[in-house]
Every structure is written in C-alpha cells, then in structure tokens.
A and B are shown apart, each in its own frame.
Chain A
Amino acid sequence: MKNIPISAMIGLGFTALYFVIAVFAPLLAPYGMAEVVGDVWEPSSSEFWLGTDNIGRDLLSRMIYGGRTTIFIATVATILSFVTGSTLGFLAAVLGGWADQVMSRTVDLIMSIPSLITALVILAMVPVTIPILILVMGLLDSTRVYRLARAVAVDIAVMDYVEAAKLRGEGQIWIIFREVLPNALSPLVAELGLRFIFMVLFVSTLSFLGLGVQPPLADWGGIVKENKDGIVYGIGAALYPAVAIATLAISVNLVADWILNRTTSLKGGRG
C-alpha cells in the first residue's frame, strides 16, 4: 500500500467515500428523499446545508439518495457491459474468420442504429424498472466495448507469443485468458473508467427523455435536470450534482490510471 501515489490515494478516498455514502444513505440523509420541507430554491443554511431544490426538498438528502441510485446503476451496468463486451470481443479476435465476421457485423448493425431510437423503443415497450434499465444500458454499451476489445485483441492475436501458444496446442479459452487478456488490459482499464462515466451520463440522458428512474427517486443527472433552469440566474442547485458527477468521474479515473500504471509495470519492460 505504501507505493500508492497521492493522486491515486485521493481517487481511492473519494470513490470509497461516495460508495460508503451510497450504502448508508438512509442513515446519513437529514431529511426524507421525497419530503417537501421548504420553499423553492432556498439558499444554503444551517437547516438545509445545500439549500432546497425546485419544489422545496432538501438538496443534500436528494443528493445522498441520488448518489445511491446513480452509483448502483452505473456500476452494475458497467460490469455487465465489460464482461459481455470484452469476452465476445476477445473470442471474435481469437476465433477469426466467419465467427468474427458474424459477431462484428451484428454489433455493427446494432450500433448503426442511433442508440436514442433503440433506447426509446425498448423502454417504450417494456415497463421501466431498474433491472431493465441496467440491462438495456449494459447491453447497448457492450457493443462499444466489443469494438475496442476486438481491435486490441486482433493486434495481440497475431503476436509471436500467441502463435507460439497456438502451436503448443493451447485451447481458445486458455489463450484468451492467459495471453490476450493480460496484454489487452491497459487500454481496457483506461476505457473502464470512461465507460463508468458514460453510464452515469446515460442514466441522466434517459431521465432527460423521461425514461430514467421513476420519481420521486432521482439520479444525479436527474437532479441536474430538475434544477437546470436556475443555472442561468445564478442558482447553484444544479451545480452540486454536476460537481458530484465530475468528482466521482475524476476519482474513478485516477484509480483507473493507477491500475493502468501498475499493470504496465507488471509486464516488465520499462518502468
């Protein structure tokens, strides 16, 4: 642990803090999430630390509960997207030939339709619940991960060491996990941090279209949207959740950077 650079410490610290707050939200929030306690857009005071929102709810409590929703959905969807996307991407790269063509073109087909339409349609046809939201987001996003994983893995799959492994008679699974995965890890980890952020933004875009989580529940993006009209008149209620999203994003990516550095170091070569 003593080798952790300061930036990574900060990142880890904030990330951990946000996750802890998310887990213990009901204990930490001073008011109920949906409880109307004051006037519209009250400035911050000892009673309401961050002021009140667009219909007079305590903004701090909204933020704490909102963080819970945001982090939960984004984390699970990112994991889903990565596991599906990279597994299929590696498989396509290693198998090559027709299997690769079929998978890649299918992904192209899905990606070629603007995700807005896809999301609109799917969520208009099925009831919007959190598991469905996660599933739709994760699977739509996994196509992006697939493209990258395959692109990286194709380069690796023609490396001498992979050829050697193939000649040795190693199985596909072995090659994917022992040869391809470790060498493809750094671009993927770099992508992981960003994908997490895109998930956070994706939830808020869906809220923007009226397809996100059901009110009175809200995610951070949703809180930004609820209070956005105040921005141009100097009311900061929309800025707090935006700052929360930004700091979470930076923290997660600081951690990702650190892991990225560690994995590159692990490969020997240059320090």
Chain B
Amino acid sequence: MNEQLNHMAGQVTAGKMTRRDFMGKAAALGVSAAIASTMFADAARAAGPKKGGTMKVGMLGGESTNTLDPAPAATQVPGMVLRLYGDQIVDVDADGNISSRLAESVEGSADAKTWNFKVRKDVEFHNGKTVTAEDFLRTVERHANEDSKSGALGVLKGIKGMKADGDVFTVEMESPTADLPYLMADWHLVVQPDGGFDNPNAGIGTGPYMVEIDEPGVRHSFKKNPNYWDDSIGHVDEVEVLVINDSTARMAALQSGQVHMVNSVDPKVAGLLGRAPNLEIRSVSGRAHYVFPMHTNTAPFDNNDLRLALKYAVNREEMVDKILRGFGSVGNDIPVNESYPLFDNKIEQRKYDPAKAAEHYKKSGHDGSPIVLHVSDAAFAGAVDAAQLFQQSAAAAGINIEIERAPSDGYWSEVWNVKPFCASYWSGRPVQDQMYTTAYLSSADWNDTRFNNPKFDELLFKARGELDTAKRVEMYAEMAMIVRDQGGLIAPMFNDFVDGVSNSVQGYEDDPNGFLMYSWAPVKCWLDA
C-alpha cells in the first residue's frame, strides 16, 4: 500500500494527478481523509508552485471610503491592496528579521545614527519608470512631512536629515536608533513614483499585481505585473479582493467555495468551521493584544492600588478561553510578549486573585461607587462580552464595575484615548522599542494610559543606543516590570491571527506579523486546479 501511495504522490509532484483523483484513490486504499490530505499537500508542495488562476480573497476591514493612497490606510483591506500593488523599501519577515525589498541592502553606521539603503537595480513602476533613490527619499518625505496625514508619521519622528546619492538613500537620525530598519518597514511606506506627491491615489507601485478594478468597500481586482522583479512569488494571474465585513457571510463564502481564503475568523466559530471538509483554519500567535487602558492621571485611576486591584480582578484564563476560544494567550499587563525579539520570558505571570484584588481595593480607599468601563465591539471582537466577564470576576472581589456601551461609530475618536477607562486594541509593533515609544513614552501621542515615569523614559532612550544584546534584554525587562506594576494597562490577552484557507490553496505559511501571511498570502500561495 505504501508503495502505491508513494507512487501516487510522485504522480502529484509530477503534476499528473489532481487532488480529487488522489483523494479518491487514497480512500480506496483505506487511508483516512485527513492523512491523505496532508500527504497530498506535501506532494503538491514538492511539485513547486503552479502558475495561473484567479485567487479570490474575502476580507473584513474595507469601507466604501477607502483610497489607494498608502498614507491614510488603516484597515486590513487597504493593507492588502498596498501589498498587492506596492512594495516597501524593506519589510519584516515571518521570523521577525528585516528582509530586503526595494532596497537591496541596508547598512548602519557604528553609532547607529546613519543608515544607508541601496536601491535594487532595474525595478520598474507599473508606468514604466525605473525606481531610484530619489523615489525612496520623496516617499519617506511625504510620510514624514509635517503636513502629512500618514499613519507612519508618528513612527518617523527623530529624522535629522535624508539624502539620495546615486543609488543610495541615506537617513540620518538625531539620536542612535538601532531599530531604524524596522521603522522603515512600516507598511504605509510603499514606494511611489516621486513619493506619490503628484497623485497619491494613482495606485501605481512596483508590486507583483497591478490595479484593475478599484471599487472601495466592494471589491478590488488585480492582474499580474509581467515585469515584476521577484520571480519567486506572484503565482496566480489575477487576484480579486472581495470586501465581506459580515463575519457569518464571510465564513459562508469560504465554505461554499466563493472565495479561497478569508481573514479574521471569529474564534467562537473557528472550531466549528474547521470541521468543514474542504478548508483549514490557520492560526498564528502574534503581537496583537486586547486591552483595557486606564488613565493614570485621572481619579480614581491615579491610585496605583486601585489599578492593581483591577489588574488582579481580571480572570485572564477565562477570557482566553471564552472570548478567544483558545486562539490566543494570556497577557501580563505589558504590551509585549515572547513574539518580540529581546523579550525576557522570566517575568512572572500575573494571575486572577480576588483576595489580592480585594486587599488592594481596600487599601486604595475607593468609596465603592461604580467604576465605569466604556466599551464597544469596535474596540475588538467580543469586547462587550469581555467587559461582562470582567464585571463578573471583579464582582467576586467586591469591586463594582459598570459597563457603558458606546456606539461603534466614532469609538476611536470619542472614547479611546478620551475616556479614562475603556476597551482597546493594539496590533503590536515589530520591536519593543517601537511599541513602547508609540504608547508608553510620556510624550507619546498615543499614550492611552497617560503613563509618565521618568525612569521608564530614561531606560527607553538608553536601550535605543545600546548595541549589547544581553544588556538590552535586561533593560527591556526592567521597563516591562515598571509598566506591569505601576502602569495603567490591563492586558488580559494576546489574540492569534486566525485565517480560513481553502484546501485548493497551496504554499500557505504562518507569519506572525498579520492576517493572511501579513497580506502575502495571495502573492506567495498558488492554486492547485
């Protein structure tokens, strides 16, 4: 039997046998469907990528107000569209390392202040223009500009000067920045001709696919870029991104074969969906986390005992179990976890402890009036449910939490970073420095816990210029302890990225940077007929 199976697998690898035939014959040999499926996938992968076909992707996170301009992109669909038609200077790969895209190589000076990016030769934009260092410069300029509305604006602070010289683009920083390549890997920084100054919405990039139809909030379709510089990816002829914001509709589309892959599978139904025979649930743990930030400068949250009481009053295991259905891990009231480089995993895990919570609550001297928690499902999927679990577990410690549900509409402008205690979501950053700088530095724009700790700020700056890895790990561990024990962040859980992928898709690999292989899936995967 084994021989026969091996022969069949060989046929598959040689491209002489389809999936249907293989599964049928394997079943006849008494091989279970699950095993046969795995065998087929292995054999098909060994055959190498198949070219052609149309990859259909059903996605959450698109609105009819979206544009092709990389700067204001904020949700998943624009992110995918950028990946398809554009390319960045550098990118972060699945292992968390910097990978070169339009920059052939990256070099930093010894003091980590000056960084050189060498432009890859003979890469053409969709309009035929060749990519130059000047395009790099203008792109970063547009995003870092004071007049910019780019989502990358905050990331690009601290640049002292930039220049384009021949095929080298140079960035000079005001202070040592060991992580600069990671800052340049921000997904908004898609290189456009002349930086997109004349027409940011043109949809002209260097990406593997070219924009064919652009109907925001409905669908985006792409055809293959025949001049793409990287032959190893971009297997299908056409990619169609369908915006399907409703969770149930998205799952139905995948189940009935209308799309090949979907992002954001609701953890509640992932287990049930996974039972369907023609698809697979792929989940990968990452840096995204669900949180309840408290303003440390606003009563009653200016009292560290009250903050600790609330931190001990969250039942983290229950939340991971009921809100994420196991597709995630418990958080430790710090915005980082072991998916980050330089993370010290010896930091003690905080656990649900009603007795300790009650003790801190008593010590805080809070008058017993209800603590109002503002929440909406716009914060994260299941936020309202999570808040209700929090309310129950806190009640066990004698803490009275009152839930105030806000409309999803306008949540990010009216509630988050405005109300002293609410639900929120962070997608994480590639490195710890960036995460802390974005939201925990006392002067950060997005300091949603109003955290102000001079010792913490000092450590953050010191760690940036520190090139000794062991010392950096130590510094980050110390910073984590400060945030964990004195900060305003309640981080009960880190969520996985959960995708649904049809069995006809080959070449799918986990990437902890984001959904659908950090949006690479339609580019790196192929369809087996």
Contacts and interface: CB of A to CB of B under 8 A. Distances in A.
Interface of A: 34-36, 39-40, 54-56, 120, 123-124, 128, 209-211, 214-216, 226, 228-233, 235
A211 B404 CA distance: 10
Given A55-B322, A210-B406, A214-B404, 13 more contacts: A36-B392, A124-B407, A209-B407, A209-B408, A210-B376, A210-B408, A214-B405, A215-B403, A216-B391, A230-B269, A232-B248, A233-B269, A233-B272
9 contacts: A55-B388, A124-B407, A124-B409, A210-B377, A210-B406, A229-B266, A231-B248, A232-B248, A233-B272
Interface of B: 247-248, 251-252, 266, 268-269, 272-273, 318, 321-323, 325, 376-378, 384-385, 387-389, 391-392, 403-410
A34 B391 contact: yes
B384 A215 contact: yes
Most A CB within 10 A of own CB, among B251, B268, B269, B321: B268
Given A210-B377, A231-B248, A215 B388 contact: yes
A179 to B, nearest CB: 46
Nearest to B386: A55
> Dominant SS at the A interface?
loop
Contacts of B273: 233
A230 B268 contact: yes
Most chain A C-beta atoms within 10 Å of own C-beta, residue among B269, B377, B378: B269
B277 to A, nearest CB: 14
Given A228-B248, A233-B273, A216 B407 contact: no
Contacts of A120: 407, 409
Contact of B268 (A34, A54, A210, A216): A54
Contact of A55 (B248, B266, B385): B385
A8 to B, nearest CB: 38
Contacts of B321: 40
A232 B392 CA distance: 29
Given A210-B406, A211-B407, A215-B405, A54 B385 contact: yes
A229 B404 contact: no
B238 to A, nearest CB: 29
Nearest to B407: A210
A215 B401 CA distance: 12
Contacts of B378: 210
Contacts of A235: 272
Nearest to A226: B385
Given A233-B272, A233-B273, A34 B405 contact: no
B248 A34 contact: no
A229 B248 contact: yes
Contact of B251 (A40, A54, A123, A232): A232
B403 A214 contact: yes
A54 B387 CA distance: 13
Contacts of B272: 230, 233, 235
